[in-house]
Chains A and B, each alone.
Chain A
Amino acid sequence: AQKVTQAQTEISVVEKEDVTLDCVYETRDTTYYLFWYKQPPSGELVFLIRRNSFDEQNEISGRYSWNFQKSTSSFNFTITASQVVDSAVYFCAPRGTASKLTFGTGTRLQVTL
């Protein structure tokens, strides 16, 4: 079984600030996968990134970057130079050998002008 903790319930930043969303996961699976999804006010979950447990390379995609630290069971997400369009709820979701995604309560990000 998987468990995820996103300790930050809500974060408010001013546009162009950098912001990091924290994710700590628990799993008993030796092979697992980690996902980040974004849920804008429209409600649809938008896939952002997938990470395999055996690949600890950090990744950068445009203004987004992810820091995977297996030793601390963390998979943090940073938005550089935030924009108003980044306002959404962000979910980190681990997935083990079973097919289901396990979601926490998410982090609501509010970016203002």
Chain B
Amino acid sequence: DAGVTQSPTHLIKTRGQQVTLRCSPKSGHDTVSWYQQALGQGPQFIFQYYEEEERQRGNFPDRFSGHQFPNYSSELNVNALLLGDSALYLCASSPSGRAHYTQYFGPGTRLTVL
């Protein structure tokens, strides 16, 4: 049973560029959440997708956007990259977006903005 997968593993971009990160949820899961983890900090919630719609959003600017596909996979897009966007981006999946369901995390994508 495959777990949550993310691609790419690492990414280097320059300020002002745009980036797309991808996530495939665990088998049987239909809800995907994205988190940003800066160095030395805990993960911060970006947003959650369920039934191809953004269901909940954290305190992140509109430069951060996402998408969920019919097969439940998801993308995170960040426009106009800033140096402060350098972080580990974690994707988590869970069944049906209910609060009591456990979120399982992928290995993350490490983004470096130069």
The size bracket of the interface on B is: 20 to 34
A33 CB within 8 Å of chain B: yes
A61 CB within 8 Å of chain B: no
| Chain B residues in 8 Å Cβ range of A95 | 99
Question: Which of A46, A50, A52, A103 has most chain B Cβ within 10 Å?
Answer: A103
A72 CB within 8 Å of chain B: no
Contact A43 B88 (CB under 8 A): yes
Known interface pairs A50-B102, A100-B56. Does A106 touch B107 (Cβ–Cβ under 8 Å)? no
Contact A43 B108 (CB under 8 A): yes
| Chain B residues in 8 Å Cβ range of A101 | 33, 35, 43, 45, 92, 103
A102 CB within 8 Å of chain B: yes
A45 to B89, CA, bound (A): 11
A52 to B100, CA, bound (A): 8
**Nearest CB of B to A83, in Å:** 22
The size bracket of the interface on A is: 20 to 34
| Chain B residues in 8 Å Cβ range of A106 | 42
A35 to B100, CA, bound (A): 10
Residues A54-113 near B (CB distance < 8 A): 91, 93, 95-106
| Chain B residues in 8 Å Cβ range of A105 | 40-42
Contact A33 B100 (CB under 8 A): yes
**Nearest CB of A to B25, in Å:** 14
Known interface pairs A99-B56, A100-B33, A100-B58. Does A44 touch B108 (Cβ–Cβ under 8 Å)? yes
Contact A47 B99 (CB under 8 A): no
Residues B62-114 near A (CB distance < 8 A): 88, 90, 92, 94, 97-100, 102-108, 110
